[in-house]
Amino acid sequence: MRDIIPIVNIDSVNIRDINIRKLEELTSCEYKTLSAYLIGKIPASQLLDGDELTLFNKELTHPMEVKAINADKLVIVLKATRLCNLRCTYCHSWAEGPNQSISFDILIRAVHKILSIPNVNRFEFVWHGGEVTLLKPLFFKKLIWLQQQFKRPEKYITNTMQPNIVNLSEEWLTFIKGIGMNVGISLDGVPAVNDKRRVDYRGKGTSERVAMGIKNYSITIYYTVHLSLSIGKYIKQI
């Protein structure tokens, strides 16, 4: 497991005294829970800037009253940013604005309200863009920290991100592996179709770079296919 998830790269707290053998015996769910717990233990003053700390302390003074819903699990899809390094033919979100990325005050209020739903104990946050990896990993570290501050002990939270992995940085790769985050990617079918629709700012297709990213990054990938096409053969190839 140490080769799959670089435990020492969780740089939020010093965990050198934790028994590595015990960590290697954890299931993926237990590992995600532990990594989120450790991030949640970072002192607010070490993670948040002055303005963010003020907003957080102010939010703590606001009682949150939320009605129960008819569900025991909730999947929440949120757009973290409109910024994108692709120019897909059917999407112009990257050109909308201002306020291209979610602000901290909106983020903190959304997390607080969602986790205050009284009868739901399982939450899956799915983070879309734009391209979420154009934000820094620090954004997600703060997000996970906020989730830990507002969750009740019995609540189970997972986070999934939907990058295009056309240009995933080593910093992001380390963070994704370090916290065990789920990753989904989008394809528009076989390369001949995908490369007409999912293009970069120069108009060049992206399927080859996506395939290379999947091969090189060695992370668990969940495919989201936009078209009802048979791509099984292509998936096996990459």
Q: Which tens digits make up the pLDDT trace of 8-17?
A: 333 334 445 5
Helix, strand and coil in the chain, % to nearest 5: 40, 15, 40
Proportion of the chain above pLDDT 70, given as a percent: 79
Report d(CA 85, CA 129) in Å as an integer.
10
pLDDT at 217: 67
pLDDT at 104 over 90: yes
Which residues have a Cβ under 8 Å from the Cβ of 17 and sit 6 or more positions away?
none
pLDDT at 225 over 50: no
Tell me how far CA of residue 43 lies from CA of 40, 127, 145, 146, in angstroms. Answer: 8, 25, 10, 12
Cis-peptide into 130, omega within 30 deg: yes
pLDDT at 45: 95
Q: All domains of the chain, ordered by start, with CATH?
A: 28-220 (3.20.20.70)
Tokens of 40: 């949640």
pTM given for the model = 0.80
Q: pLDDT for 15-60, tens place per residue?
A: 455 565 665 566 677 778 888 889 999 999 999 999 999 999 999 9
Q: Coil, strand, or helix at residue 56?
A: helix
Q: pLDDT for 126-184, tens place per residue?
A: 998 889 999 999 999 999 999 999 999 889 999 999 888 888 888 988 888 888 888 88
pLDDT at 6: 39
Residue with the bigger pLDDT between 24 and 228: it is: 24
Residue with the bigger pLDDT between 185 and 19: it is: 185
pLDDT at 87 over 80: yes
Report d(CA 102, CA 119) in Å as an integer.
27
